[in-house]
Homo-oligomer: A and B are copies of this chain.
Amino acid sequence: MNSVRVNGLNVQAALETIAAIKADKSLARFEFRARNRWIDGGENRSTIKDFYGAGREDCSRMSAFEFTNGEPPVLLGNNEGANPVEFLLHALAGCVTTTFILHAMARGITVRELRTELEGDIDLQGLLGLDDAVSPGYEQIRIRMHVKADCPEKDLDDLLAYTQQHSPVCNTVCRPVPVIIERAMD
């Protein structure tokens, strides 16, 4: 088996995935899942394990990942964990990074280093319902990317623009995505 790797990704496996999806588009459909339980105050915990994708239930994870949301004292908590809007920045950072690395591989660009710094602005008047004119979510998120790679600067700029357009989390934040909440009658 060909195991040539670029940026730590198996090139042959990536090509086979793309060929399989081109032959059967239903293989591209994924359903990701999380389960969360409130603990107390601003503390709650998620477990993440199973998902559906590539035409079947995934069973590659022996145990679940667990993550705890908390709040700092200024937001009535005890720093039990990072808070949800901070986890959103982590998700966004990771997705932009992985999308960049993936499409760098597709273009034959070897990345030596990639770091990002994120900042996001929130006005708490929205969450608290003190001013209906204030959106509860992020007003804007800024990402500063430090990248070293074996290609011209212009190719990095092109790749970054492509990444911004194709990152799933970035696209979920930039585009209005419907969230449906229903209460279980149990």
Contacts and interface: CB of A to CB of B under 8 A. Distances in A.
B166 A130 contact: no
Nearest to A88: B91
Which bucket holds chain A's interface residue count? 35 or more
Interface in A6-48: 7-10, 13-14, 17-18, 21-22, 25, 28-38, 40-44, 46, 48
B76 A33 contact: no
A114 B38 contact: yes
A87 to B, nearest CB: 4
A165 B134 CA distance: 11
Contacts of A13: 76
Contact of A90 (B67, B71, B140): B67
Q: How many copies does the complex hold?
A: 2
A102 B124 CA distance: 13
Contacts of A95: 69, 84-85, 88
Nearest to A128: B18
Contacts of A79: 60-61
Nearest to A111: B38
Given A8-B41, A18-B130, A183-B147, A35 B117 contact: yes
A140 B84 contact: no
A175 B172 contact: no
10 tightest CB-CB pairs across the interface, nearest first? A8-B41, A69-B94, A137-B171, A137-B172, A36-B93, A8-B40, A84-B95, A34-B89, A87-B91, A38-B114
